[in-house]
Structure 1
């Protein structure tokens, strides 16, 4: 019996998580994380998607993501396959890299986006031993981009929607305009 298909629609925003098998590290150093960004960028040019918040930890990754053109399964399969191939080659690794298939849950709009982005961004300080003392110091998260009011270094990272929700001026696709 096959796995049930995941619900997906093009205007949906989803909290996505991928974790290393047995909670093992899947990002050993900054080279691995830079490769992951490169893979995301390459996949974006094939199947454009939007990342509104993210955090790359040593053994897992979180996204607040919208995929308007292809299903989450198609998108995540390509990202995970490309990173698995890279990881296996670099570390001469055999076996399963990821614990399970990716976790996904649709985020209720618009308030859920703020709640999920907060959860995603707090990952580096909510570990048993915090990785940084302040969130804006963690370099592998979208939080510093929001905190320092920076522009996105990659086309798939979209900062305007959450910024406008926080300011009370955004109409998120699929919702009515938010009024203060």
Structure 2
């Protein structure tokens, strides 16, 4: 059976979820959880994602992510793949960590109520799952962005964006008073929750108004340009900008690529920057920089990394 196509467009907001393969845990220790968040931070740096909410639980994760560029597919591929490789290496295991493809629910960003509801759903997950006792505050669960919302900006992850959810709650500023009011309202919502408002988040493919749904269906039918992607297309625009910058730095032109050997240190430097700052593949890098096969590039980057550690 063919996979469902992913619709991507600038400014899209998604509620992304994934579970462990066979309902296996995706984190065994706090060190794994910190690794997960560090890898998410790397993914955000590569893709320019803005995360509005996140929650890491025993065998699943939840993200509410906004994509200024149409790059959810390549970003999630890199993020989940990079975390799986590191997790497997740490625990001496192999194979899939996550169960199939992640689920991505479209969220209507034109109305504050939809974003508010889906972020509240994510933040209330630990209480709903019984991970908190009735007398424990929501903020006592450490692996959720909810606690970050209650901290001063300097203490948060740089990739967490709080302003849109605060506005959705009619909280005018990210101040100490505003954060206390947010906490008070969330605890009140927790006490009053009956689950009815969250049912649309759990079902279907789209959470929004009628006009939003119709626009998405139009995109799926291919009537609005390249927003409808049926294959994974890397973020080549950013990668090409980096290549041009490095060419100027090296005093090279396109013709110089063929004049220098595949493992030229300047090519390796460009390749390393592309891997660190974008989601383009080794195959794209090897072809673009004329560095031979992707495995050769992987070896060059591996030894470059080892040399840096020794230095």
Task: Give the alignment's TM-score, normalised by structure 1.
Answer: 0.86
1:173 is matched with none
1:167 paired with 2:186, answer: no
Q: SS of the residue aligned with 2:11?
A: coil
Mapped to 1, the partners of 2:63 and 2:169 lie a distance apart of 18
1:117 paired with 2:119, answer: yes
1:174 is matched with none
1:55 paired with 2:58, answer: no
1:66 is matched with 66
Mapped to 1, the partners of 2:164 and 2:41 lie a distance apart of 20
Q: Say which is worse superposed, 97-106 or 149-158, in terms of deviation.
A: 149-158
2:106 is matched with 106
1:33 is matched with 33
Matches within 5 A, 1:1-180: 2-109=2-109, 110-127=112-129, 129-131=130-132, 133-146=136-149, 148-151=150-153, 153-167=156-170
Which structure has the larger Rg over C-alpha atoms? 2
Root-mean-square deviation over aligned CA pairs? 1.8
Task: Give the alignment's TM-score, normalised by structure 2.
Answer: 0.51
Contact 1:24-1:59 within 8 A present in 2 as well: yes
Structure 1 residue ranges without an equivalent (≥5): 171-180
Q: SS of the residue aligned with 1:17?
A: strand
Q: Count matched residues.
A: 168
Structure 2 residue ranges without an equivalent (≥5): 174-311
Contact 1:47-1:70 within 8 A present in 2 as well: no
Contact 2:14-2:64 within 8 A present in 1 as well: yes
User: Where is the helix percentage greater, Structure 1 or Structure 2?
Assistant: 2
Q: Which has the higher contact order (CA 8 A, sep 6+)?
A: 1
Show CA shifts across 1:51-87 (max 9, x none).
0011011211101101112421111101000000011
**1:14, distance to aligned residue in structure 2 (A):** 0.7
